[in-house]
Structure 1
Amino acid sequence: MTNRAIISTPGAPEAIGPYSQAVKVGGTVWVSGQIPLVPGSMELVQGDITAQAQQAFRNLSAIAEAAGGSLNDAVKINISLTDLQDFAAVNEVMAEFFDQPYPARACVQVAALPKAVDIEVEAILAL
């Protein structure tokens, strides 16, 4: 693929495995799942699901900007939670980061996430 670009920014955590922060092909950007790691220090955000979700969405936002867009270019968001009781709190945080109309979204409960965090969020952007 000659039009494939790897997106990388110091404004988001480095990959903790064999993957890129995002891949852009044409006007579509696939952003890897983001957990509440602080860029630079790679430390986990301490606090409740609200603090964790805010950091995960900040990380997504930094990658979207590095790709030439913003979270408002998102067409699909996938959220993984270790406890669906956090659903309402995550909805409130998401509304802070997106303008209406909101992107399509899935939210599922999972048994566990990397580094024992409570949330992971990924996105697909159409630029």
Structure 2
Amino acid sequence: MDQPTIQAYGKKNPNLPFHPAVRAGDFVFISGQVAKDENGNMISGTIETETRATIEALRRALQAAGCDLEDVVKVTTYLADARDFGRYNGVFKEFFPEGRLARTTVEARAVINTKIEIECVAYKPLA
């Protein structure tokens, strides 16, 4: 049986030993994304602001690997404060209105100053 092709995508930070996106066969794994704009500048604000910016960062990483949000099958979210869950969830529904995915949300402080970090797995069969 052939091994799946593994391909890295996205602009890798030279100081960090990983890529934003990695395709392994029909699956694309997106590393944890935080609220950054397309130039890599941190965005801070309310949980709603940071959630929107974080999901847009996810979208950019997915698109670099030939996917988009509708291909996402699993999301893991890390919230710095569990009290933000309801407000985060409201924004999440805007981007994933049908909720055709599995999701885990935990309270955990990120290693950088951010209210939220999200990673995901997408399924997009190779042509």
**TM-score (ref. length: structure 2):** 0.87
Task: Choose from 51, 57, 60 the match for 1:59.
Answer: 57
RMSD: 1.6
1:35 aligns with 2:34: yes
Shift of 1:2: 6.6
Task: Choose from 59, 79, 83 the match for 1:81.
Answer: 79
Instruction: Please name the residue that 2:90 is paired with.
Output: 92
Query: Which residue identity is paired with 1:22?
Result: A
Instruction: Please name the residue that 2:113 is paired with.
Output: 116
How many residue pairs align between the two structures? 121
Q: Measure the CA separation in 2 of the matches of 1:2 and 1:79.
A: 27
Structure 2: 5+ residue stretches without partners: none
> Which secondary structure does the structure 1 equivalent of 2:112 belong to?
helix
Say which one has the larger Rg.
2
Q: Measure the CA separation in 2 of the matches of 1:26 and 1:99.
A: 27
Instruction: Please name the residue that 1:69 is paired with.
Output: 67
Matched-pair identity in %: 27
**TM-score (ref. length: structure 1):** 0.87
Q: Measure the CA separation in 2 of the matches of 1:106 and 1:93.
A: 16
Shift of 1:125: 0.4
Instruction: Please name the residue that 2:22 is paired with.
Output: 23
